[in-house]
Amino acid sequence: MKCKICKDKFEPKYFLQKACFDPKCLAEYAKLEREKKSDKKAVIRKREFKDNDKTLRAKVAQQVFNTFIRARDKDVGCVSCDKTKDWTGQWHAGHFYTTKARPDVRFNEDNCHKQCSICNNHLSGNIGEYRPVIIERIGQERFLALSLNKVRRYTCAELKEIELCYRLKLKELIALT
């Protein structure tokens, strides 16, 4: 067998022995094994940190939600202007009530529709044109329910649940098409 450190051939005395009996090789091999174990622990800690990182959870949940909204509305044009579904520009998931102003309706499907990047970014959502179309799509009663202001703060667990829920909905939506 070859030593993992010096690459010289040696006859192992113990089961699973990877380094020769040279004290330098044994010390170096032990050091490498300790580093490997600490790297694994660091990866586990990093994964736990990500699961408890509320900013990251919110960002990922929002990305999945927005992808679902664009897929759901793929057969309609911009909610705020006359751009049809064949427009070749970038599509966004435009919120009627912004996510900063109204975090309670951030993940509400009635509050979010496919919108062209021009209306969403350059015209601040083009709310004047958005309102009549959203009322037509979801109805007056559901629109009024959106305007009820509720204080809401999401936990990491809720954000993870929202992410998983919309991943599943997106998968089902894609399977239907």
Please report, in tens digits, the pLDDT of each residue of the chain (177 residues total): 888 889 989 888 888 888 888 889 989 998 988 888 877 777 766 666 677 888 888 999 999 999 999 999 999 999 999 899 898 999 999 999 999 889 999 999 999 999 999 999 999 989 999 999 999 999 999 999 998 878 888 999 999 999 999 999 999 998 887
Domain boundaries, the chain: 1-51, 54-176
CA-wise closest residue to 160 among 80, 58, 69: 58
pLDDT tens digits, 15-54: 888 888 888 998 999 898 888 887 777 776 666 667 788 8
DSSP letters for 74-115? TTS--SSSS--TT--S-EEEEESS-TTT-GGGTT-GGGEEEE
CA-wise closest residue to 134 among 106, 114, 151, 104: 114
Q: Cα 114 vs. chain centroid, distance in angstroms?
A: 18
Q: Which helix (H) or strand (E) segment is 116 a member of?
A: strand 112-116
Residue pair 102/148 in contact (Cβ under 8 Å)? The answer is no
Phi-psi region of 102 (alpha: psi -120 to 50; beta: other; left: phi over 0): beta
Q: Name the residue type at position 117.
A: S
Residue with tokens 């751009």: 83
- Report if pTM > 0.75: no
- The size of the chain, in residues, is 177
